[in-house]
């Protein structure tokens, strides 16, 4: 079943004379349970696209249907709720709040979902265990290694049981050994939990571990093919 349907999406940065056309007539469909990689040169618009897919960017032209809902018509407040309840984010530089403990970072999406402290605590314990960081809840993110911090951000991304994950170069800041571990975690999430994953990466080896690769060049989709076909 088609989950994400993007139709003729264009994206401009800036306005008027100085406006910059980043995405050109993007059409893309992603079904539930897929594991998709987006590849392309630096500056080709990968992050811009994935931000639109993940409801982070509400300023675009064209149509975006999410389970047939017209997201392009949604207000800013509706986008907040949509993000909170449907999607988890993993970024290259982890994006953890350094003044909060690991546990509080992971529980943050649930806090904004209006959950009670007690419920949040037990759920946080669960997901930290799932990413292999059972004992890190009380620590500050700064005291963890890069790989561990990325695991924390993955725990935060899956804590609400989102429909899909978007990951913008999740292994970009990690060594190859740690990258492999993170990819193993993603594959596990995709195969066991049936979580849809959309991932931007530079690394061919990383991309080959997904099921489908979309190539982008200068804001246009160059190719879109299944891995190993």
Ligand X SMILES: Nc1ncnc2c1ncn2[C@@H]1O[C@H](COP(=O)(O)OP(=O)(O)O)[C@@H](O)[C@H]1O
Where on the chain is the footprint of another protein (CB under 8 A)? 47, 51, 56-57, 59, 76-77, 80-81, 83-85, 89, 91, 95-97, 99-100, 108-109, 111-114, 116-117, 156
Neighbours of 186 (CB within 10 A): 23
Name which of ligand X, another protein, Mg ion, none residue 10 binds, using a CB cut-off of 5 to 8 Å depending on partner kind: none
Nearer to another protein, 14 or 70 (CB): 14
DSSP 209: T
Please report how close the Cβ of residue 169 comes to ligand X at its closest, in angstroms: 8
46 closest CA partner among 209, 204, 167, 190: 167
Give the range of 43-51, 65-73, 203-211, 220-228 binding Mg ion by CB under 5 A. 43-51
Nearer to ligand X, 46 or 156 (CB): 46
Output the six-digit token pair for 185.
């975690």
Residues binding Mg ion: number (CB under 5 A): 1
Whole-number Å distance between alpha carbons of 90 and 166: 6
Please report how close the Cβ of residue 190 comes to another protein at its closest, in angstroms: 21
Phi, psi torsion values for 192, nearest 5 degrees: -80, -45
Instruction: For residue 47, state whether it binds Mg ion (rule: CB under 5 A).
Output: yes
Q: What is the CA radius of gyration of the chain?
A: 17
DSSP 71: G
Nearer to another protein, 52 or 213 (CB): 52
Nearer to ligand X, 20 or 67 (CB): 20
Q: Which residues are at the interface with ligand X (CB under 6 A)? A: 13, 20, 22, 40, 42-48
Whole-number Å distance between alpha carbons of 148 and 215: 29
- Confirm if 153 and 96 have CB atoms less than 8 A apart: yes
Instruction: For residue 92, state whether it binds Mg ion (rule: CB under 5 A).
Output: no
Give the range of 6-14, 39-47, 52-60, 210-218 binding Mg ion by CB under 5 A. 39-47
Name which of ligand X, Mg ion, another protein, none residue 42 binds, using a CB cut-off of 5 to 8 Å depending on partner kind: ligand X
Phi, psi torsion values for 130, nearest 5 degrees: -65, -30
216 closest CA partner among 200, 204, 192: 200
Whole-number Å distance between alpha carbons of 92 and 50: 13
Instruction: For residue 105, state whether it binds Mg ion (rule: CB under 5 A).
Output: no
- Confirm if 212 and 29 have CB atoms less than 8 A apart: no
Give the range of 44-52, 54-62, 122-130, 184-192 binding Mg ion by CB under 5 A. 44-52
Judged by the rule CB under 5 A, the positions of this chain that interact with Mg ion are 47
């Amino acid at each position: 079943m088609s989950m994400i349907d993007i139709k003729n999406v264009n994206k401009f940065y800036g306005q008027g004379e100085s406006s910059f056309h980043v995405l050109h007539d993007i059409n893309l469909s992603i079904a539930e349970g897929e594991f998709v990689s987006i590849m392309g040169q630096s500056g080709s618009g990968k992050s811009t696209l994935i931000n639109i897919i993940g409801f982070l960017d509400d300023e675009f032209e064209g149509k975006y249907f999410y389970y047939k809902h017209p997201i392009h018509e949604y207000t800013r407040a509706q986008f907040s709720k949509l993000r909170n309840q449907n999607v988890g984010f993993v970024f290259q530089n982890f994006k953890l709040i350094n003044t909060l403990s690991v546990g509080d970072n992971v529980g943050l999406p649930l806090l904004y979902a209006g959950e009670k402290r007690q419920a949040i605590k037990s759920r946080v314990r669960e997901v930290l265990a799932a990413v292999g960081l059972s004992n890190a809840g009380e620590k500050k993110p700064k005291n963890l290694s890069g790989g561990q911090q990325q695991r924390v951000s993955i725990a935060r991304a899956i804590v609400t049981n989102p429909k899909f994950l978007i990951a913008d170069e999740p292994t970009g800041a990690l060594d190859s050994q740690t990258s492999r571990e993170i990819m193993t975690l993603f594959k596990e999430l995709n195969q066991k939990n049936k979580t849809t994953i959309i991932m931007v990466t530079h690394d061919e080896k990383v991309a080959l571990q997904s099921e489908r690769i979309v190539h982008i060049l200068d804001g246009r989709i160059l190719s879109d093919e299944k891995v190993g076909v």
